[in-house]
Amino acid sequence: MGLDKIGIAKRIAQEVKDGTYINLGIGIPTLVANFIPENINVVLQSENGLLGIGPFPEEEEVDADLINAGKQTVTTTAGSSLFSSSESFEMIRGGHVDLTILGAMEVSENGDIANWKIPGKMVKGMGGAMDLVASADNIIVAMQHCSRSGQSKLLEACSLPITGLNCVKKVVTDMAVLDVLPDGGFKLLERAPGVSVEEIQNATAGKLIVEGEIPEMQIG
């Protein structure tokens, strides 16, 4: 039931618009790059200091001095540029990056996001996520609808330490595509193939808004 990670990445790739600069977070967001249609031209930003992330290298092309923000070896595209981490965040803070796609542990119905720490248990650090969510105009979250223990990750209010307030615009999960409304609430836009509205309702702890027939996602 529901989409796998590839399916989530494929669905998010449909949100990508031609001629934009995009920052992809670690995990599922990184996979999105593989499914952007060829007629859509975008430039991917890596916050360590690269505009124009290319595909993973061939074995003989691997360069220790060329990695993405997930520390994976990458290549550069024709027309790429390299810069310092402070300039990278000048681009982000200055509003020059059009779209940010990142993972989350929790999202609240007013668009708050939590993704950097579980008190007493796990600390990854916020990395660039706090800067990105505080400055990006358009933020899409890619995540599983529920945690491994079956708890909803779409909540009325986040229980974990917050990464940013009122910032998430859209959530794509293994079960659904949802808009976060400016006045609060998750508006159900699409269902994953084979997933019912009732199942999505049961898996969503925050306020879910369902209007009319909800279409199934079209995943190519």
Partner 1 sequence: MINKVVASPDEAVKDIQDNAILMLGGFGLCGIPEQSIAALLRKGVNGLTCISNNAGVDDFGIGLMLKTRQVKKMISSYVGENAEFERQLLSGELEVDLIPQGTLAERIRAGGAGIPAFFTPAGYGTEVAEGKEVREFNGKMHLLESWLKADFALVKAWKGDTSGNLIFKGTARNFNPMMAMAGKITIAEVEELVEPGELDPNAIHTPGIYVQRIFQGESYEKRIEQRTTKIK
Residues that are catalytic: 47
Alpha carbons 140 and 107: distance in angstroms, whole number: 11
What is the torsional sign of CA 110, 145, 25, 214?
negative
Write the interaction track for partner 1 spanning residues 85-104; mark x where CB under 8 A is met and - where it is not: xx-xx--xx-----------
Minimal distance in Å, beta carbon 51 to partner 1?
Answer: 11
Minimal distance in Å, beta carbon 18 to partner 1?
Answer: 25
Minimal distance in Å, beta carbon 26 to partner 1?
Answer: 9
Q: Which two tokens stand for residue 36?
A: 């952007």
Asked if residue 134 binds partner 1 (CB under 8 A), the reply is yes
Pick from 55, 193, 194, 215 the residue near partner 1 by CB under 8 A.
55
How distant, in Å, are the alpha carbons of 2, 15, 61, 121, 174 from that of 12? 15, 5, 29, 30, 11
Going by C-alpha positions, the residue among 53, 61, 55 that lies closest to residue 82 is 53
Number of residues engaging partner 1 in binding (CB under 8 A) = 52
Alpha carbons 33 and 142: distance in angstroms, whole number: 13
Catalog residues that contact partner 1 under the rule CB under 8 A.
46-50, 55-59, 62-74, 82-86, 88-89, 92-93, 112, 120-131, 134-135, 161-165
